[in-house]
Each structure stands twice: as structure tokens, then as C-alpha cells.
């Protein structure tokens, strides 16, 4: 009897454990079935800016489509056919999200597609002529460059060596320097309303100086700091990617952003910036190239080949091209690079075909 009791107890215990496993089993969420699907465009499909985007939505008998609401940017249209064409509402290039909302009676299903819009034209290809050459310190890892009242201002990088410097343009002599704390890596530099704005690389913190180079406040931002310039009352920032951010200078919040594309695709690693005649000039990091960008659309309008500025011997002891400065009073353009021995005044002209 005792053995039978043990067997019954064991059976009941196993049954209880089995019941407990069943009751505590984590339920799985069923996948929501959709009765419609997007056949065209495919995800990340590439289009020329002049081309219409062909939309095709397939459906099943359980979901006869009455209409499809399409939203691209801030433009919304309604179509009663499952196949139709749409276009991009502006000339802005880069990635666009298309929202497709299919209606069937009281029910609806929503789909999303991202498409890439390229400029229809190749950038104008430019080269340069050296008009003048000036000394530049090989100790300066150039990150930001600008000219005010004929004086050169420079932001330099490397931890423990970063600084904000005021220089004699003709001689390269340092007139005044503000050294950054050793934990900061100096980056882009811009002038707005007689105040200098200086970025740092990965710390998310920037510095503002008055006309006497006295630090008057700091600001914070959420992306990496690379290049910096201004157009009208906005600061314009790059962060290594193909994106350009337009920032409000007091709160440093992003007002809008652009993606920079040429006719072949995105142009990333955008670095030091300068605004010239309403266009954005941007160094492409680790290339001897400056791209000229439309600030309204993100299109690369011109591509400037600056290879060969340094001799092979000079280039062997220097780092990459980086630094564009424009003197609005004289309409002269200056370029240099990280640890370069020279600052060049240059003019640009079309490349010979």
C-alpha cells in the first residue's frame, strides 16, 4: 500500500508540474495578416529626379481596394486605381518615405516604401589655379577655417593640442590662441553676428566666443561635430555622414536637414564647410575634393578636384586636405589641410575635357 501511495503521489506531482508548465507558457503573438502588398516600388529603389514613381498595390479577394491614399513629404493624394504614378513634390534629393494607405470599406492597411532620388545632371567638374601661397604651421591639425576683416581664424584638432587661433593671413603668425581642455578635440568653426562658434568632435559640446575670443557660453548637440558654417541666421553642421544639419544658433536645435547626393549616389564623409555666394562648399574627408552643394535641395552642383596642391615630399609629411576660407571683402578663396605647410589662395575653372 505504501508503494502504491508513492506511485499515486508521484503521478499527481508530475501532472501538477505539467499543468503548471501549460498555464505559465508564454503566449506568442500571431503575426498580423495583411491582404494587400506593394509590388512597386521596391524598398530603396533609385530614381532619377525627373522620373515618375510607378506605384502598384496588389490585393486579395478578401480586401477589394476602394482607394489608396499616398503621402510623399507634405503632399497627399488619393487614387482609386491600384496602379498609378506619383512624383516628388520638391527638387530635394536623397531618401524619401512614401506612405501608402489602402482602404477597403471600413478597413485600411498601411504600407511604407523608401526611395532614393538622384539629381538628373552630373556635377560640373572643376579644377584650380594657385594665385598665391602663404605659410601654414605643420603643427596645426586644421579643422575649421574662416576670414574676418582680413584676419585668418582657425580651429585645430587633436586631444591636448586643440585650439582656437587668430593668425596673420600673410605670414601665418599666431596673434592670439585659446587652448581647449585636453579632453576636447576641436572641429568646425563659424562666425555669426560677431560671435565665433567652435565644434568639438565626439563630446557633443561646443564653445561660443566674442570678437575678443573670450568664451561667453557653451552649447550642446546630439551628433558628431565635423564642419560648421553659416547661411543667413542659421548654423550649418556636418557629422561625417552625407547629412547637413541646419541649426538654430541659440538653442542649437535642428531646424531641418539635407542629404547630399550627386547623380551616382550619396556623398558622405562631409567635413569642413564654407558658404560662398549662397552655396555650401564642403571638403570630402580623405579625398582631394570639394563639393559645392545646393542648400535647398542637397544636390552636388560642382565637384572641385584639388589634387596636386602639395608636392609629393610635402604630402608625405602632411595629412588630408581640410579647410576652406572665403574673404567676402576681396572675393578670394583659401584652402589648406591638416598639418599642411602652406595655405593656398585659389581660383576655380572648368576641367579640360
Task: Please answer whether residues 256 and 297 qualify as being in contact, where contact means their C-beta atoms are separated by less than 8 angstroms.
Answer: no
pLDDT value at position 33?
A: 74
Q: What is the pLDDT of residues 144-177, one digit of tens each?
A: 999 999 999 999 998 999 999 999 999 999 999 9
Question: According to the model, what pLDDT value does residue 168 have?
Answer: 97
Q: Give the start-to-end residue ranges of the domains of the chain.
A: 36-118, 124-350
Nearest CA to 63 out of 31, 112, 111, 106 is that of 106
The CATH superfamily holding the domain 36-118 is Immunoglobulins (2.60.40.10)
Q: What is the pLDDT of residue 28?
A: 47
For the chain, what percent of residues have pLDDT higher than 70? 91
pLDDT tens-digit map of 280-322: 999 999 999 999 999 999 999 999 999 999 999 999 999 999 9
In the CATH scheme, what is the code of domain 124-350? 2.120.10.30
The mean of the pLDDT values for the chain is 90
Amino acid at each position: 500500500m505504501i508503494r502504491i501511495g508513492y506511485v499515486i503521489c508521484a503521478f499527481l506531482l508530475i501532472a501538477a508540474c505539467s499543468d503548471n508548465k501549460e498555464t505559465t507558457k508564454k503566449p506568442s503573438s500571431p503575426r498580423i495578416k495583411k491582404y494587400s502588398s506593394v509590388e512597386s516600388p521596391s524598398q530603396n529603389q533609385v530614381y532619377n529626379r525627373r522620373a515618375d514613381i510607378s506605384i502598384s498595390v496588389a490585393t486579395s479577394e478578401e480586401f477589394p481596394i476602394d482607394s489608396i491614399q499616398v503621402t510623399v513629404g507634405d503632399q497627399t493624394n488619393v487614387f482609386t486605381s491600384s496602379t498609378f504614378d506619383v512624383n516628388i513634390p520638391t527638387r530635394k534629393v536623397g531618401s524619401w518615405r512614401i506612405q501608402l494607405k489602402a482602404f477597403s470599406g471600413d478597413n485600411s492597411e498601411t504600407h511604407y516604401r523608401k526611395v532614393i532620388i538622384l539629381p538628373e545632371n552630373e556635377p560640373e567638374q572643376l579644377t584650380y589655379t594657385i594665385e598665391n601661397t602663404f605659410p601654414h604651421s605643420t603643427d596645426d591639425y586644421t579643422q575649421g577655417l574662416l576670414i574676418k576683416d582680413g584676419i585668418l581664424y582657425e580651429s585645430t584638432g587633436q586631444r591636448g593640442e586643440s585650439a582656437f587661433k587668430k593668425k596673420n593671413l600673410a605670414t601665418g603668425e599666431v596673434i592670439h590662441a585659446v587652448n581647449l581642455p585636453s579632453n576636447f578635440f576641436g572641429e568646425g568653426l563659424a562666425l555669426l553676428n560677431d560671435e565665433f562658434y567652435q565644434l568639438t568632435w565626439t563630446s557633443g559640446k561646443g564653445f561660443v566666443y566674442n570678437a575678443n575670443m573670450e568664451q561667453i557660453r557653451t552649447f550642446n548637440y546630439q551628433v558628431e561635430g565635423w564642419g560648421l558654417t553659416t547661411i543667413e541666421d542659421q548654423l550649418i553642421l556636418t557629422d561625417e555622414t552625407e547629412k547637413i544639419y541646419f541649426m538654430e544658433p541659440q538653442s542649437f536645435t535642428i531646424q531641418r536637414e539635407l542629404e547630399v547626393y550627386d547623380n551616382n549616389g550619396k556623398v558622405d564623409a562631409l567635413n569642413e564647410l564654407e558658404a560662398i555666394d549662397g552655396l555650401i562648399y564642403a571638403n570630402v574627408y580623405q579625398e582631394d575634393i570639394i563639393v559645392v552643394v545646393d542648400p535647398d535641395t542637397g544636390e552636388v552642383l560642382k565637384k572641385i578636384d584639388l589634387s596636386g596642391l602639395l608636392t609629393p615630399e610635402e604630402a608625405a609629411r602632411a595629412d588630408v586636405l581640410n579647410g576652406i576660407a572665403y574673404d567676402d571683402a576681396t572675393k578670394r578663396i583659401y584652402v589648406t589641410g591638416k598639418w599642411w605647410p602652406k595655405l593656398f589662395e585659389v581660383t576655380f575653372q572648368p576641367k579640360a575635357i
